Structure 1
């Protein structure tokens, strides 16, 4: 059954009053403000990997699939629906989601309907304000150009506007976390989530103990809008996925779920370019064009190469060393998932065990399934996370967040933000040694018995050291070890050469996977000021986990 829905979904078919040739040749700079039509959200069953790969390369396949039941979710127009039936596929229309999307987006052609999300311009303005207000913490950086920026005859285009967040008064080099959003333009939540995380770190400096030690010791590099040209189309309510490259193809305008101008930037990276999960057809949603052809991809790869050393050999089987430094996360929507390399192949990456361990820490916070894309979703080649791991050796991940491209502000604020901010903090803490630190226990609930105190007071420092905070949410389990030790440092991280002081088990013996730890601190001789106490734990396998901190004020 094809639903006869009024209104439109963001990626609407072309105007029914226009003939197909007229619509396809429309000026992509002049989008119809209210094209009528219907787009269906369907589940398409497949029997073989070849059929799945064909579906992904030919249609608007979403980041939602069920390997056990053998279906993939897609957006299709009525003609595509009939074509799938003619090809022998079993297609189930998801009536409620289709109706909800149509109702939510009927007549919607402005991001102002989603007050929680900033436009490209608003994001850039707010980053500039942060740089002005927090001069010691924020530096604006131009990471490249958009297609329109380097191509004449159309809109002016944009810089790939990002920022570096760190305490610039403390010299580096420092471990780096690169966070990017909105490489697929229609995924509203991702750009906002990226800048929200940066803002939390910036505004928390000096009042949030963990934000403080992280920015003292590490660098956060943030690119909220990786695809700003495409995002401007999406901000009008169209599900534009790709960038705005109009140089090839006789594609639909306005963009539809079957045809749109542009290149899929998450299929355009140079590592394993052109394989499964990509299309050579210019109007398809996964159109790859030629390797690193797009200015956005060139800027992204150039920038990451400038901040991360190449730490992995050239062979597919070459593992990055255990002391590799650096992590990147690409934020996508929708379908709750935490994905790790490889995306191009179902074979395990050389650092599979370590990549999976950190991913399961993310899964603990988000509740998302943690898996490898070709195993739980479908293969995709030329992706940003595969490039970052495959070329540089850094730990690289994709977060798929939420349940909609145009996620409601209510669910974004209540669920997506808190769950994912916690996971992003976990990632930032792991940036120094992403293949070692996540194997160790977390220090949580760090507290002092009293603060502020006068110099000479004896203060109790307590925490819980927990080696069980992993969850794949249905995709395997992570071994936990008993806690073996705990320690704290004052004002400096343990790896910087600071003096470490041992803590004891609250019950007198370390013999469980989660332990309360404690110590007494005599503040005799301490001067007036704020002190940062950093606690970390070690498991029986010898792994030290990331620290957590608390302030102690002496008055």
Structure 2
């Protein structure tokens, strides 16, 4: 019941927000009201794109709908409906087939009014989102301003870039972000956005996450240790050709491949040029949830990995991640697999993990679910398998990354609309998902092990700066309960059993480790206060990074969290070029 109500309320809220981008905080209309109940069966709908609930009786029907229509990331299996954008001719066809199609009157009416008035045809109406060009400019600036942390990387080319006779197209511009002064190899996290062009928020979250880490280096303890010890690889705009169309306010989903079909332009929800890049990957290509009709929203292309964008993605991920899974469909990746990939989508408020092509369990199901529930703790999204909580989809990016390479791979459906208002994006979507992505990055070294362990939170020191030789109290909380599937199962938790800290270097680098004690004297609860006394005698003046991590009773060490400790010379004396200066600058 909790899961059903959770999904239903989110669906209604999302439908009310789909096209307005300006109704943040409005409550969804009551079930059964004139706003939510929609047109009764047989009543002619408005002559425009409609947002509807389609009720289905069998999984086979849902599978067929997923291949034929522009289904949204809302499917309530308990109620037996899926949300979709459809055109009037599709409405008539579905009704003629005997399906119950419930028009969501209010969002459909708003959409029609906006289009009648000229609609929104420019992304400047959404000032919180950068265009393709602005995103590239930001990356260029970061590379210039943080040359020791940022390296630009050309991942590949867009369809227009490799096709003569049309627009110039784009490079798939990415970045590698790490402290280049510290040698690798380092664990890697690949974060990508906007493979579906109309999903504005996704590219912006990718670039903001990169900015947050780079700008926080040296001042934010977690950003600092993560970039010292890990690598972040980002591709904010995975479908730049399609995104330029979507920036005009159109619901363009696919890339801009115009080589097949006589499709609509401007694009509609039922007819648009291009290939759905998230149905074009070579792992389980051509299966359920894809279309062979060129203008369809889910058109998979003429063959597996046919598009330059998917070719670039597969080639790049293969170059940065080792293949760590066997060739058999039931072969799990080893527990110590390293590497993580997340593809950001909108909307739907979901954390999805493989498989999407099949309802069978992925070999690493339990571990994928555990990390997913760590992310769900932060963004309050439903955490579930693609196929089980939505509908089938074959040839997806996350299935390819997990299926071919064995790395932990996820699709995160953020927010409540394609054109998320800046107010709700800034207040909700960005903060909760940036927090989730930080947790994901921390797990990238051992995504199938680390998330099971306790989180170290609230790490603090009793004073900073301190004079060398002073004692400092280090405190934190070890919490083994920070999981939330939001209605899709419960994660087992254990008592905290141990904790430790290291200085400047992570535990797995061979750094000296010092045990911490339970604040109440005994490790016996799933959330424990931690404490340690640090004697700074002999410490040279400077800034130190203290990293705290904890282990649960099942033997799982969680990810570290850090705090800075600044140490000053005794008497305020600082040594400069062999001379000691006091606070007044006198020798």
Give secondary structure in 1 for the equivalent of 2:238.
coil
Shift of 1:253: 1.0
**How far apart are 1:102 and its partner, in Å?**
4.5
Query: In the alignment, does 2:481 pair up with 1:471?
Result: no
Q: How far apart are 1:307 and its partner, in Å?
A: 0.2
Contact preservation (8 Å) 1:9, 1:38:
no
SS across alignment from 1:432: coil
SS of structure 1 residue aligned to 2:263: coil
Distance 1:312 1:79 in 2: 46
Query: Which of 481, 485, 495 is the matching residue for 1:482?
Result: 495
Tell whether 2:135 aligns with 1:123: yes
Q: Identify the match of residue 250 of structure 2 among 221, 235, 238.
A: 238
Listed one character per residue, the Cα deviations across residues 319-340 of structure 1 (whole Å, up to 9, x for unaligned) are: 0001100000000011110000
User: 2:277 is matched with which residue: 265, 290, 310?
Assistant: 265
Give the alignment partner of residue 349 of structure 1, picking from 362, 367, 372: 362
State the 1:144 CA deviation. 0.6
1:529 aligns to 2:542 (yes or no): yes
**2: distance between equivalents of 1:516 and 1:412?**
34
Q: 1:109 aligns with which of 104, 118, 121?
A: 121
Deviation at residue 96 of structure 1 after TM alignment:
2.3
The answer to whether 1:447 aligns with 2:460 is yes
Query: 2:350 is matched with which residue?
Result: 337
Unpaired segments ≥5 residues, structure 1: 1-7, 11-35
Q: Does 1:135 align with 2:147?
A: yes
- Of 151, 159, 177 in structure 2, the residue corresponding to residue 165 of structure 1 is 177
Tell me the equivalent position of 1:514. 527
Please tell me whether the aligned partners of residues 19 and 419 of structure 2 are also in contact (alpha carbons under 8 angstroms): no
1:77 Cα shift? 1.3
RMSD: 1.3
Within the candidate set 502, 508, 511, 1:495 is matched to 508
The answer to whether structure 1 residue 177 and structure 2 residue 189 are counterparts is yes
1:90 aligns with 2:100: yes
Give the Cα–Cα distance (whole angstroms) in 1 for the partners of residues 561 and 138 of structure 2: 29
* Aligned position for 2:76: 66
Cα distance in 2, alignment partners of residues 68 and 426 from structure 1: 31
Question: Secondary structure of the equivalent of 2:498?
Answer: strand
The answer as to 2:199 corresponding to 1:199 is no
Question: Does the 8 A contact of 1:141 with 1:161 survive in 2?
Answer: yes
Q: Alpha-carbon deviation of 1:517?
A: 0.5
Whole-Å separation in 1 of the counterparts to 2:111 and 2:473: 54
Show the counterpart of 1:26.
none
What SS does structure 2 have at the residue aligned with 1:398? strand
Post-superposition Cα deviations, 1:417-452, rounded to whole Å, max 9, x if no partner, equal: 111001100110000000010010000000000111
Alpha-carbon deviation of 1:65?
1.0
| Residue 82 (structure 1) shift | 1.5
TM-score, normalization: structure 2? 0.88
2-side partners of 1:430 and 1:484: how far apart?
20
Give the 3 Å change call, closer, same or farther, for CA 202–37 of structure 1 in structure 2.
farther
Following superposition, the deviation at residue 46 of structure 1 comes to 0.4
Query: C-alpha separation between the residues in 1 aligned to 2:119 and 2:446?
Result: 49
User: Could you say what secondary structure the match of 1:149 adopts?
Assistant: helix
- Which residue is equivalent to 2:402? 389
- Tell me how far apart the structure 2 counterparts of residues 398 and 173 of structure 1 sit (CA, whole Å): 26
Rounded Cα–Cα distance in structure 1 between residues aligned with 2:441 and 2:114? 35
User: How far apart, in 2, do the equivalents of 1:217 and 1:388 lie?
Assistant: 23
The alignment covers a number of residue pairs equal to 523
The answer as to 2:220 corresponding to 1:214 is no
**Aligned match of 2:87 in 69, 77, 84?**
77
The match for 1:33 is: none
Does the Cα contact within 8 Å between 2:19 and 2:107 map onto a contact in 1? no
Distance 1:101 1:203 in 2: 39
Report the Cα distance in structure 2 between the residues aligned to 1:61 and 1:84, rounded to whole angstroms. 14
State yes or no: 1:434 paired with 2:438.
no
Q: How does 1:285-300 map to 2 (within 5 A)?
A: 285-289=297-301, 290-300=303-313
Q: In the TM superposition, what is the alpha-carbon distance from 1:97 to its structure 2 partner?
A: 2.5
Q: Would the aligned equivalents of 1:9 and 1:102 in 2 still touch at CA under 8 Å?
A: no
Trace 1:246-325 onto structure 2 (pairs within 5 A).
246-289=258-301, 290-325=303-338
Deviation of the 1:294 alpha carbon: 0.1
Specify the alignment match of 1:27 in structure 2: none
Superposed displacement of residue 500, structure 1: 0.4
Counterpart of 1:17 in structure 2 is none
Alpha-carbon separation, structure 2, partners of 1:104 and 1:342: 38
Alignment-derived partner of residue 159 in structure 2:
147
Residues 19 and 110 in structure 2, CA contact (< 8 A), matched pair in contact too? no
Deviation at 1:103, TM superposition (A): 5.3
Aligned to 1:52: 62
TM-score of the aligned structures, taking structure 1 as reference length? 0.93
Match for residue 419 of structure 2? Answer: 406
Maintained 8 Å contact 1:43/1:91: yes
Shift of 1:94: 1.2
Match of 1:5 in 2: none
| CA spacing shift, 1:484–1:104, aligned 2, 3 Å | farther
Counterpart Cα distance in 1 of 2:144 and 2:290? 42
Q: CA deviation at 1:104?
A: 6.0
Instruction: Render the CA deviation track for 1:216-258: whole Å, top value 9, x for unaligned.
Output: 0000000000000000000011000000000001111110011
Separation in 1 of the partners of 2:189 and 2:536? 35
Contact 2:68/2:291 (8 A) holds in 1: yes
Give, in whole Å, the separation in 2 of the partners of 1:9 and 1:207.
40
- Are the aligned partners of 1:9 and 1:39 in contact in 2 as well (CA < 8 Å)? no
- Residue 548 of structure 2 aligns to a residue whose secondary structure is strand
CA separation of 1:209 and 1:100: change in aligned 2, threshold 3 A: farther
Secondary structure of the residue aligned to 2:516 is strand
Tell me, yes or no, if the aligned pair for 1:340 and 1:397 is still in contact at 8 Å. yes
How far did residue 37 of structure 1 move? 6.6
